[in-house]
Copies of this chain bind each other. A is one copy, B any other.
Amino acid sequence: MTESPTSPGVRTEADLADPAYRQGLVALLGVLAYGELVGFLTIAQEAGFAPSSRDKATLAHVATQEFGHYERLAARIGDLGADVHQAMAPFTRAVDDWHRRATPTDWLEALMKVYAGNSIANDFYREVSDLVDPQTRELMREALEDSSQVEFAAGELRRAIASDKKVAGRLALWGRRLIGEALSQAQRVAADNDDLMGLLVDTGSGYGLDLGGWMHMFTRLTDAHTARMEALGLSA
């Protein structure tokens, strides 16, 4: 680790000529794309718990938005001259494992996964979008504009908690487990992938976060999650 600036340099389109940056970018877009693809599949699965056709349709709509993100990320990977499936391959196991460990057993757990999971994913997109070139940044920020699913889930969870105080403890526990697993998995995935780590963390390139900044980002993600749980009246 060489000495790093306290604030990361801002990447431009010109950086796309740097093979190391392109490789890191393809890795980043690969893990995000696989996250969206599996996010699509699992939200659609979780819609099976929906108590009404109205709720099923709402979650189905959320799922199709995730697939739209997947398609745009896949197109960007293609534009960079890489194959989306090869780009996703290094990450499929970790993402699948997370979803397997975070499989909801009922409708409220499914809603919590949408609420807490999509929110923290959005926060991660926002943080990391500062570290990429402007065109990729725009693509990542577009994905943030669809927040209707998070609001829908929050509304349903608030109603459920208000009408039955007993669910609060169970949902607090579930939210903690979901996010604890997600954050430790994310750190491990990044640490294991040199291309991705090279993009996100400054190891001499003058771009990316220094190691302290990288740890601080996870602290911010955790704090924002805690605030969101408290907004539902749950202890995080």
CB-CB contacts of A46-86 with B at 8 A, as 1s and 0s? 01100011101100110110010010001000000000110
Give the interface centre of A54, A64, A70, A89 by most chain B CB atoms within 10 Å.
Answer: A64
**A40 in contact with B53 (CB, 8 Å):** no
User: A71 CB to closest chain B CB, in angstroms?
Assistant: 8
Q: Give A60 to B84 CA distance when docked, in angstroms.
A: 15
B44–A92 CB distance below 8 A: no
CB-CB under 8 A from A40, the residues of chain B are: 44, 60
User: Could you list which residues of chain A lie within 8 angstroms of chain B, going by C-beta atoms?
Assistant: 34, 37-38, 40-41, 44-45, 47-48, 52-54, 56-57, 60-61, 63-64, 67, 70, 74, 84-85, 88-89, 92
Please classify the interface of chain A as helix (H, G, I), strand (E, B), loop, or mixed, using the class held by over half of its residues: helix
Cβ-defined contact, A48 with B53, below 8 A: no
A76 to chain B, nearest CB (A): 15
Question: Complex formed: what's the CA distance from A37 to B55 in Å?
Answer: 11
- Closest residue on chain B to residue A48 by CB atoms: B41
Q: Which of B37, B56, B88 contacts A41 (CB 8 A)?
A: B56
Residue in chain B with minimal CB distance to A61:
B67
Which B residues are in CB contact (< 8 Å) with A37?
53, 56-57, 60
Instruction: For A88, give its contact among B53, B85, B89 (CB under 8 Å).
Output: B53
With a CB–CB cut-off of 8 A, which chain B residues contact A34? 53
How far, in whole Å, are A86 and B101 apart by their CA atoms in the complex? 36
Across-interface contacts of A67 in B (CB, < 8 A): 60-61, 63-64
A37 to B67, CA, bound (A): 16
Q: Of residues A34, A56, A84, which shows the largest number of chain B Cβ atoms within 10 Å of its Cβ?
A: A56
